[in-house]
Structures are given as structure tokens and as C-alpha cells.
Amino acid sequence: MVIAAVALAIAWAYVRRRPFRVEIRGDSMSPTLRSGDWAVATRVGAPRRGQILVLEHPDRPGFEVVKRVVGVQGDLAPDGRPIGADRFWVEGDDPARSTDSRHFGPVARDAIRGRVWVVYWPADRWRVLRSRR
């Protein structure tokens, strides 16, 4: 009975979060993520400041990018306007190499595909990613 309950809990968590792999291309998230890294992301509830997300580029449907949340609802964007409901300001860790909210503005909640939480390849870069504030 206990084994069935544990199996059910694992299956529920898997279906709810639906993990997927992400290949990092480009250096916009250096040094945190490097081109060639492979990571695991899961569906996310409410994104929080500091989390690294996979999102659909607002100007290129179907094209996904990886960026960090630096502003949430109620924060002020760099242009002084408040970030609206279900919108997030995202930026790359390397501003000189990143196309992000500084170019396309806040992103909508429905553009977010998941949260990146672990790098698994290359093996010598394996680590769990923590939110940065």
C-alpha cells in the first residue's frame, strides 16, 4: 500500500510539473549558463524574482529563450513604468550579449514555458540552480 502511494505521488508530481530538457545556445546567461549546457526545466506556478525561466520570445513565436526574472508585478521597469499584472521583466546575466526585456519589454505569463532548475551536461558543470535576488 505504501509503495502504491509513493508511486502515485511521484506520478502526480511528474504530470503536474512535466519536466523537459533545455539546450543552452548562446552566452546571454553567462557565467550561470554557457552555450552547450543541457538543463532540466519544469512547469512553473508563479515565477519569482531571481528564477531562470524558459520563455517564448515575444517577437518570434515558437523561438524559446532562457532569461532571469528581475522584475515582477508592481516593480518599476527601467523606463519608470510599473510592471503590470501577469507580466515579468526578464534579463540575461550578460547584458552585452542578451536580447531581453530591455529590447522587447515585459513578458506575459503565458509566454513562460518553465523554470530551469538543474544543469546536467557537461557532467563537470552539473549543479542545481538557485534563485538569485
Catalytic entry in 30, 35, 67, 98: 67
Q: Tell me the C-alpha distance between 132 and 83, whole Å.
A: 19
Q: Is 98 a catalytic residue?
A: no
Is 28 tagged catalytic? yes
Reading the block at residue 125, the C-alpha cell is 558543470
What cell was used for 101? 526585456
Distances (CA, A) of 102 to 67, 83, 112, 129: 12, 13, 17, 24
Catalytic residue selected from 28, 30, 98, 131: 28
Taking 3-state DSSP, the helix, strand and coil percentages for the chain, each rounded to the nearest 5, stand at 20, 30, 45
Active-site positions? 28, 67
